[in-house]
Amino acid sequence: MAARYLFRRAVGAVVVLWLAATLAFLALKLTPGDPAQALLAASGATPDEIAARRAQLGLDASLPIQYGRYLADLVRIDLGESWLHGRPVGQMIAEQLPSTLALAMAATAVAAILGLLLGLPAALRQGTWVDTLTTSVSVVGLSTPTYWSGLLAILVFSLYLPWLPSAGQGSLGHLVLPAGVLGFAMSGAIARVVRAQVAEVLRANYVVAAHAKGLSPLRVLFVHVLRNAMGPALAVTALQFGFMLSGAVVTESVFARRGLGKLVVQAIIWRDLPVVRGVMLVAALAFVLTSLAADLARGWLDPRLREELQ
Amino acid sequence: MSAKNRTKYVARLAFTAALLVLSLAGCASRPSEQVRYGLTLAPSGIDPHVNASSELGIPLTSVYDTLVYLDPETNEFVPGLAERWEISGDGLAYTFHLKKGVTFHDGTPFNAEAVKFNFDRITSTDLKSQKALFMLGPYDRTEVVDESTVRILLTQPYAPLLDSLSQVYLGMASPTAVQKWAANYQLHQVGSGPFVMAEYVPGDHLLLKPNLDYRWGPSVYKNRRAQAAEIEFRFFTDAATRSPALESGETDIMGEIPPQDAKRLESSSELKIQVVPIPGVSLMFFLNTTRPPLDDVRVRRALLYGTDRKAIISTVFQDLSPLAYGPLAANTLGYDPAVQAFYPYDGEKAAALLAEAGWTDSDGDGLLDKAGQRLVLTAVLMGWGSMPEVSQLLESQWQALGIQLSSQVVSYPEALQIAQEGSYHLIPFNLSGSDPDILRKFFRSEASFNWSKIDDAEMDGWLDEASRLTDRAQRVALYGQVQLRVMDEALVVPVRDYVNLNGVSKRVQDLRYDGQGWFPWLIDVAINSSGK
Amino acid sequence: MSARSLGGRARRFRPIPIAAAAWLVVVGVLAVVAPRLAPQGPTTADPASALLPPRAGSPLGTDFLGREIWVRLAWGARLTLAAGAVALALAVAVGLPVGLAAGGRGGWVDSVLMRLVDGLLAFPGLLLAMAVMAILGGGMDSVAIAVGLTAAPAYSRVARTVAREVRIQPYIDAARALGCSPWRIAARHILPNAGPALVSFAGAQLGSILLMMGALNFLGLGAAPGSPEWGMMLADGRGYLRQAPWASVFPGLALALTVLAANLLGDAWE
């Protein structure tokens, strides 16, 4: 049963991936601009030379043939070659992935910790000023654009107080501001779920019973409440990680970090379709995998769901 | 423990401490003559025969030698790998007599066969060259006359050939290395220049080490051999990272500093700004002469009179760029100073011209109109070179004249497509190049960058002839006529001459740039580590 | 997700949603009266007074071309609100029918439509909007359309869930038994009952729509140069962060407050 559930979800994931790939193919086929011309015009090439280069890039074939080649390439994990740089897209993405992953993981850690710090007190002290304060902070975090909070962070922690570097990468110090800003923005959703789940669990019978049995509140909290509430919280955290790519695009731009975000913005400006497609597919893959993981985490941690599966 | 052991113990402790301090000191300082250079673009292709980026030339100009060199001070060509050359009377054959005793970094001897190999490589269709191939113009073939004599044959005379041959894109690579590394050659490039490409990790860093056997440098090099112990290049693609890297000491040299940062760094005690003018076509707005209302020369002239270009230079470029008066930058060969007489800022004259052309504000809404149509102009911009900032200032200045300017930023491929369709009024652009033949790309009637959409047979004649003549004085005269015609017909609104704002540590000495402006002659660069 | 309302159970006087609504009203009014209040327009440059800090007569300072920040904020409010409204309307117009159809019909229609929606939702929102913009080209209209289309799939998911809940009600079966057409059922029964949830989700979406539009403009993919759109002002001010921080602080503050207000109101509606 667990295996069958997993299989069904996996098939669903593949279908979604195929759809995403097709959408990526179609969408970008409609963009205006001729890459062959862009590559050569500045060097003074003639229209014949440009046409020859276009044929070389395979842009002349009919749409169904291009689609077929595209799918075949994808199955072999060949994302094609960048039109601008001529290098394999997979290689370019692999070069930029570590930087973005570092940012995403650091930001997720910050988001999870902040989410806990904000959601727990709110649930434990529902209806009081603690609740209002922490929930307000969450909402503020959700509402603040990272391209603004990032600039503010640079202003305060880099220009006025020269504590941290404002741009680039290479050390842990370079990660502090971007991860902090991005993590703060993402923490609101986690805080929300933590608060809701913990509040719900606190009302549950077995918790009341544990209290009645005389167990210390702290023990109740850690052993019973957290374990049962963490399922959905972990799920949301995993999803947030999947969303990190959106956030990374802006954060990488504000803090001038290398990464997938920068790669894809450049590619969109230059109509380097294979690169845009490649990054979008990687993003879709990341999302599908993380939501699969989130589902599994939820299922494993939540005893009720586990029973459902049995 | 016993007294003896304690002494030993203390001694060992002291020794370890000393070692630690010494090694930390060693970690903190780098090899005292290492120069760190910041690059501003990370092209993933850096093979000069293949790729077009000018960034690759910054390190590689010192890895390769070229047949000839352009002396930026005299604008003359001096011997490089070719110690002398002859051009046939009909301009179709260039015979080069090569220096003897030159070897590539891998020991391969440099000779006529090597030269032919290089040109065959550049012109082969498999290579898909993006720039080098097109710099050869009407190239036909290369002939080996003897071991140290080689002849390049053209199908038509082509005056810019020597200029092309002086650039890194036509630098001489080792045939052995090219054949050995094939598709991976760009990671293991081998030339004959004063530096060896020691290491290249794409997107991360590039390391140059001196070529200890180098002794055939051109006269423009001050030193016989490289002065720096090694040069490390790292990438700073985002403009926001550049001045912080200089100020923190992470790099010693960095180009393309944004004007407002450069202004601030000018007063720094540890850094200086080295302003390097780049020859070529200045940053200017091309006016589409086929699209009304710009088809009326009076309207175009009004735009020129009505633009306060000095304000643009001081506001957007912090007075660090020279004002451009014509299509060629002032330090380009063939620049005609007579263009400076054209179109001083005169708002009244602009208004008068517009009125003469029939444009009045008949409905009092602040915008000029004629026969029911408002005077609206569209500009298509690309996002670099401060073009968006300049267009915003133009929008405001022309608003005072009663003209509405609306701009949009598009990608380069899209701009080219829009240019082809002709659905724009203005397109700004600038392109660097040391030979005035660059004007032909923009102002000849069928040229790919003819964004003024001008079709002037007389000017075509001048441009074609000037690209074929070898007599420099005659060429200069013809290009002078072209520049005056361009300004007289108000085909463009010139804004500024492009300059590269280099942030340089005051400890760096002898940093000089070549005739193209972009490429440093690294052989002479050294760090003065004994202080400022 | 019921434990979302702030600090209160019954509908009593709550200062926060009222403040939020007040802010939105202020922004709206500013947007409307901008031409009257600041007739010089957002593009009139005065290079002589560039990068001046806030002082008497210039409450928010000037930017690198000497333009008053408060003038540009006021004119930018028009752009921001108009584009936001268009994007939201598009999201609803596209997402609602799809979601209702899927939830109302069920069966294979539901499966196919929702798989399509899942395919779209697999892409991070900003990336999807960027891809749409790559097709449409630049400009504020493209931004509004791209963001609207990107927000539509999420909207259709919510619409489907709500529609599905309503569909399994007994009175729907009764209506169908009586011979009502599916469209009539949708219009007369499903929509009115689903209404409140849909409206509240739309309100919550407005915040993320505004953020996404600002992001696209900040990255330079959207509005024309010189446009007083708030995200664009942030990008403009960024190069002068050290000399003139007010050029970045105030536009971002305006945007953050507006998004905050939208989110708070969306929460309070429940």
Q: What is the pLDDT of residue B314?
A: 92
Residue B185, pLDDT above cutoff 90: yes
Residue A130: list chain C partners with CB under 8 A.
none
Gap between the Cα atoms of B429 and B435, Å rounded: 17
Contact C44 B409 (CB under 8 A): no
Q: What is the pLDDT of residue B5?
A: 64
Rounded alpha-carbon distances, angstroms, from residue A282 to A15, A128, C262 = 15, 44, 32
Q: In this prediction, does ipTM exceed 0.90?
A: no
Which chains, if any, share at least 3 CB pairs under 8 A with chain B?
Answer: A, C
Gap between the Cα atoms of B258 and C242, Å rounded: 13
Sheet containing B149-154, strands listed edge to edge, beginning at the edge strand earlier in sequence: B82-87, B93-98, B149-154, B139-146
Contact A86 B411 (CB under 8 A): no
Residue B112 in tokens: 């006529």
The 3-state secondary structure of B230-276 reads EEEEEECCCHHHHHHHHHCCCCCEECCCCHHHHHHHCCCCCEEEEEE
Exposed / middle / buried, residue B207 (Cβ in 10 Å: 0-12, 13-18, 19+):
middle
CA-based nearest residue to C235, from C45, C243, C225: C225
Degrees, nearest 5: CA angle B229-B235-B238: 145
Average pLDDT over residues B408-432: 86
Per the listing, tokens 């660097």 go with B432
Beta strands B149-154 and B139-146: pairing type? antiparallel
Residue A167: list chain B partners with CB under 8 A.
238, 240-241, 244
CB B231, CB B37: distance < 8 Å: yes
Residue B142 in tokens: 């290369």
Q: What is the pLDDT of residue B10?
A: 66
Residue B393: list chain C partners with CB under 8 A.
45, 47, 65
Which chains, if any, share at least 3 CB pairs under 8 A with chain C?
Answer: A, B
Residue of B260, B264, B392 with shortest CB distance to C225: B392
Interface check A93 vs B, CB under 8 A: no
H/E run at residue B197 = strand B195-201
Give B151-172 pLDDT, tens digit per residue. Answer: 999 999 999 999 999 999 999 9
CB B503, CB B276: distance < 8 Å: no
Exposed / middle / buried, residue B38 (Cβ in 10 Å: 0-12, 13-18, 19+):
buried
Which of C2, C218, C240 would best serve as a mutation to test chain A binding (most A beta carbons within 10 A)? C218
Q: What is the pLDDT of residue C5?
A: 45
Which of the two residues, A297 and B393, has the higher pLDDT score? B393
Enumerate residues 6+ apart whose C-beta is below 8 A from B267.
Answer: none
Contact A280 C123 (CB under 8 A): yes
Exposed / middle / buried, residue A256 (Cβ in 10 Å: 0-12, 13-18, 19+):
buried
Q: What is the pLDDT of residue A79?
A: 80
Residue C41 in tokens: 């327009």
Residue type, C52: L
Contact C226 B264 (CB under 8 A): no
Q: Closest-CA residue in chain B for C237?
A: B389
Q: What is the pLDDT of residue A45?
A: 63
Enumerate residues 6+ apart whose C-beta is below 8 A from C112.
Answer: none
Contact C263 A143 (CB under 8 A): yes
H/E run at residue B281 = strand B280-287
Residue B435, pLDDT above cutoff 70: yes
Contact B315 C50 (CB under 8 A): yes
Residue B219, pLDDT above cutoff 60: yes
H/E run at residue B130 = none
Which of the two residues, B385 and B475, has the higher pLDDT score? B475
Alpha helices in chain C (DSSP H): 15-37, 69-105, 107-121, 125-136, 140-167, 170-177, 182-185, 191-218, 230-238, 246-268
Q: What is the pLDDT of residue C55?
A: 87
Give B275-317 pLDDT, tens digit per residue. Answer: 999 999 999 999 999 998 999 999 999 999 999 999 999 999 9
- The end-to-end CA distance of chain C, in Å, is 10
Q: What is the pLDDT of residue B327?
A: 95
Residue of C125, C127, C214 with shortest CB distance to A280: C127
Interface check A168 vs B, CB under 8 A: yes
- Helix axis angle, B387-401 relative to B347-356, nearest 10°? 70
Residue C108 in tokens: 């294979």
Q: What is the pLDDT of residue B252?
A: 94
Residue of A15, A31, A253 with shortest CB distance to C135: A31
**Residue ranges of chain A with pLDDT lower than 50?**
none
Give the distance, in angstroms, between the CA of residue A140 and the centroid of all CA atoms in the same chain.
Answer: 20
Q: Looking at CA atoms only, how far is residue C177 from chain A in angstroms?
A: 34
Gap between the Cα atoms of C47 and C65, Å rounded: 5
Residue of B43, B128, B413 with shortest CB distance to A38: B413
Contact C131 A143 (CB under 8 A): no
Average pLDDT over residues B187-214: 92
Strand ranges (DSSP E) for chain A? none
Interface check C76 vs A, CB under 8 A: no
Q: What is the pLDDT of residue B26?
A: 42
Contact B395 C226 (CB under 8 A): yes
CB C88, CB C113: distance < 8 Å: no
Interface check C151 vs A, CB under 8 A: no
Q: What is the pLDDT of residue B409?
A: 83
Q: pLDDT tens string for chain C (270 positions)?
A: 443 444 444 455 677 788 888 998 999 998 999 888 888 888 888 888 888 898 888 889 998 898 999 999 999 999 889 999 999 999 999 988 888 888 777 788 888 888 888 878 878 888 888 888 777 777 788 899 999 999 999 888 888 888 777 777 777 777 777 777 766 766 777 677 777 777 778 877 898 899 999 999 988 887 788 889 999 999 888 888 888 899 999 999 999 999 999 888 877 765
Q: Looking at CA atoms only, how far is residue C127 from chain A in angstroms?
A: 6
Q: What is the pLDDT of residue B532?
A: 44
Enumerate residues 6+ apart whose C-beta is below 8 A from C111.
Answer: none
Residue B23, pLDDT above cutoff 50: no
Gap between the Cα atoms of B401 and B462, Å rounded: 36
Beta strands B271-277 and B499-505: pairing type? antiparallel
Gap between the Cα atoms of B109 and C49, Å rounded: 64
Residue B41, pLDDT above cutoff 80: yes
Enumerate residues 6+ apart whose C-beta is below 8 A from B60.
Answer: B46, B48, B168, B171, B189, B191, B197
Which of the two residues, B412 and B503, has the higher pLDDT score? B503
Residue B399: list chain C partners with CB under 8 A.
41, 43-44
Which residues lie across from B426 on neighbouring strands? B287, B379
Beta-carbon contacts below 8 Å between A and B: 82
Beta strands B492-496 and B280-287: pairing type? antiparallel
- Cα dihedral sign for A224, A226, A227, A228? positive
Beta strands B82-87 and B369-370: pairing type? unpaired
Gap between the Cα atoms of B514 and A70, Å rounded: 45
Residue C128: list chain A partners with CB under 8 A.
280
Q: What is the pLDDT of residue B495?
A: 95
Interface check A166 vs B, CB under 8 A: yes
Which residues lie across from B501 on neighbouring strands? B275
Gap between the Cα atoms of B467 and B93, Å rounded: 15
Contact A32 B414 (CB under 8 A): yes
Which of the two residues, B65 and A76, has the higher pLDDT score? B65
Would you state the torsion angle of the CA atoms of residues A128, A131, A136, A138, taken in this order, to the nearest 10 degrees?
A: 180
Number of other residues whose CB lies within 10 A of the CB of residue A253? 24
Q: What is the pLDDT of residue C2?
A: 41
Residue C42: list chain B partners with CB under 8 A.
none
Residue B97, pLDDT above cutoff 70: yes
Number of other residues whose CB lies within 10 A of the CB of residue B360? 12
As a whole number of Å, the CA-based R_g of chain A is 24
Buried b (16+ CB within 10 A) or exposed e, C39-74: eebbbbbebeebbbeeeeebebbbbbbbbbbbbbbb
Residue type, C74: A
Gap between the Cα atoms of C50 and C59, Å rounded: 14
CB < 8 Å & 24+ apart, contacts of B311-316: B311/B393, B311/B397, B311/C47, B312/B390, B312/B393, B312/B394, B312/B495, B312/B496, B313/B495, B313/B496, B314/C47, B315/B393, B315/C45, B315/C47, B315/C50, B315/C64, B315/C65, B315/C66, B316/B259, B316/B386, B316/B389, B316/B390, B316/B393
Q: What is the pLDDT of residue B498?
A: 94
- Give the three-class secondary structure for B68: strand
